Amino acid sequence: MPNSQPPQIVVDASTVIAALLPTLAPVDTLDLFTAWRRTDTAILAPPLLLAECTSAIRRYVHSGLLADEEAATALADLAALDVEIVPDTHVRCRAAYDWAGRLGQVRAYDGFYCALAEEVAAALYTGDRRLANAGRQLGVDWIIWVGEPSILPPAAESGESME
């Protein structure tokens, strides 16, 4: 029986912030979100995503890089990205803790994204090159740095409109 489930991926806050505020991010990921929507890809994230994105937007306002009105727009756009927030479980919390240890990190934030991606057998897209490199060092090929030109959809690479 063929798999009728749509493809799914996991995104972290750096990937989302790069789509919401491309002029403030090192990489613009809006083309990726457009391509994912076009292919009915389910975009998943742990609840931590909302707090991290809100904090990043607030940090930009506090530092004077973003006006309050722009922040309000970015927060509204966050909802419009249609990222499915997957509730945490005790099992995933333990997996996040374990991932933090494997990655050599003091905090488990990245571990929550890794644990969710591992649980649902999906790629994790990150704007954090260090996380992608740490994954590679562990032999994990499903943590993908969004700055890699090869991950852009073909239409995005050729400059065609994705809308």
Show me where the domains of the chain are located.
Answer: 8-150
Beta bridge partners of 124: 10, 143
CB 142 within 8 A of CB 117: yes
Cβ neighbors of 86 (< 8 A, separation 6 or more) are 44, 45, 46, 47, 116, 120
- Print pLDDT tens along the chain (163 aa): 455 678 999 999 999 999 999 888 778 788 899 999 999 999 999 999 999 999 999 999 999 999 999 999 999 999 999 899 999 999 999 999 999 999 999 999 999 999 999 999 999 999 999 999 999 999 999 999 998 876 654 444 434 333 3
Cβ neighbors of 136 (< 8 A, separation 6 or more) are 143
Cα–Cα distances (Å) from 118 to 8, 45, 104, in that order, read 12, 12, 18
Q: Is the dihedral of CA 51, 88, 104, 11 positive or negative?
A: negative
Can you name the CATH fold of 8-150? Rossmann fold (3.40.50)
Predicted model pTM: 0.88
CB atoms closer than 10 angstroms to residue 23:
8
Q: What is the DSSP letter of 64?
A: T
